[in-house]
Amino acid sequence: MRPDLRDPRLALLSLAMLSLIAAFLAPKIAVRRPSFDLLAVVDITGSMNVRDYSAGGRPISRLDAVKAALRALLAELPCPSHVGLGIFSERKTFLLFEPIDVCVDFAPLEASIEALDWRMAWEGDSRVSAGLFSAIDMARQLKSDLLFFTDGQEAPPLPARGAPTFDGRAGELRGLLVGVGGYELSPIPKFDDRGREIGFLGVEEVPHESRFGLPPEGAERREGYNARNAPFGAAAAVGVEHLSSVKEDYLRSLAEKTGLAYAHLEDGKRLWTDYAAVAAARMREAAFDLSPFFGAAAALFTFFAAAGPSLALALVQLRRAAPFNRHPQPGRSK
């Protein structure tokens, strides 16, 4: 008798062989996968040294919390995303390097983030809105999204008329304005000129009011007010500018003005979900190797060629054994 060519097991084995040939040829298809380009700009001004985050039960500074979150974000980004790094101090954003491939150049990228330090700041001022606007400009040139990390503490304080106006187009750039810091006021560490920590800023060491421009409304009721000689009143203003918390209302208003989204910094996971919600995904071609699927398919075909008849038999017996099927009552089914 000739071999039975209609045996399904022969067909399964032939399929297995075809799958293996396909796997051996290692076919690749080009798939378009989303990836992200972003510029991370980190505020490195003095208030970022405030230790109001904690890691492993130890208080860590806002800057350290930003670094940890950025590192976690890098690990989440799909290949081949690109990340650039900038720092903000005074009123400018300073680009350290243009976006580089997160996957290929992970080690130097991580080391550069780790090296961020308040000592890199070229001036002590912290004009957040001006820094943000220059960062937006820079990110637009680099064609990336923007992640701007700041606690929103303007130093010196904003003049009475409020923050400068944004003259770009709101919403042109996608990105996140990340508010860093706790909601409670905390003292700001102070350093001597060799970089050693020497306590905290005192109430008399920082200006509490901007005396540029026009005085605020109601200044004429202040003690010692004189329209020409003392338009802000005679006494120096005393406030809480020597303490710091995240200025969320201010940052939200900046975010609204510029069309960025606002998020509070919690941890890397939250940062990634917050960023992914607003990010501009860039579709890039990537080769996708199909051979693992063909290999697994071949294994399953051969498996069913051996086990198929027994499985089929077992299935039939199971059905026969099932009490419901033994006395089918079609008339009663709804």
Partner 1 sequence: MTALGFDHIEALFLAPLAMIPFLRSVLRDTPIPSLLSAPADSLSALVANILKLSGVIAIGASLFGAAGPHIAGAEQERFAEGAQLVMLIDRSGSMNETFAGRTPSGGEESKAAAAKRILKRFVEARRHDLVGVAAFSTAPMLVTPITDHIDATQAAIDAIDRPGLDYTNIARGLAMALSMFKTSDADLSRAVLLISDGAGVIDPKLRDDLKAEFRKTNVSLYWLFLRTEGSRGIADRAAEDDESPQAAPERHLDLFFRSLGVPYRAFEVESAEATEEALKQIDRLERHPVLYVEKMPRTDLSAWAFALAFVATSLLVVAKLAQVGLGVEGRAR
Site residues, partner 1 (CB under 8 A) = 1-4, 6-7, 9-10, 13-14, 16-17, 19-21, 23-24, 26, 84, 87, 92, 94-101, 104-105, 107-109, 111-112, 115, 117, 119-123, 138, 289, 291-296, 298-300, 302-303, 305-307, 309-310
Q: How far, in Å, CA of 235 to CA of 125, rounded?
A: 23
Written as one string, the DSSP assignment of 127-164 is -HHHHHHHHHHHHHHTT-EEEEEE----BSPPPTT-SP
- Closer Cβ to partner 1, 44 or 178, answer by number: 44
Q: How far, in Å, CA of 142 to CA of 93, rounded?
A: 13
Nearest approach in angstroms of CB 263 to partner 1 is 26
- Closer Cβ to partner 1, 51 or 92, answer by number: 92
Nearest approach in angstroms of CB 103 to partner 1 is 11
Nearest approach in angstroms of CB 261 to partner 1 is 26
Nearest approach in angstroms of CB 164 to partner 1 is 18
- Closer Cβ to partner 1, 16 or 251, answer by number: 16
Nearest approach in angstroms of CB 61 to partner 1 is 18
Three-state DSSP class for residue 172:
coil
Nearest approach in angstroms of CB 324 to partner 1 is 27
- Closer Cβ to partner 1, 132 or 246, answer by number: 132
- Closer Cβ to partner 1, 277 or 306, answer by number: 306
For residues 247 and 152, is the Cβ–Cβ distance under 8 A?
yes
**CA torsion 54→60→61→67, rounded to 10°?**
-90
Structure tokens at 167: 């003259």
Q: How far, in Å, CA of 125 to CA of 230, rounded?
A: 25
- Closer Cβ to partner 1, 194 or 228, answer by number: 194
Written as one string, the DSSP assignment of 58-97 is EEE-HHHHHHHHHHHHHHHSPTT-EEEEEEEEBTEEEEEE
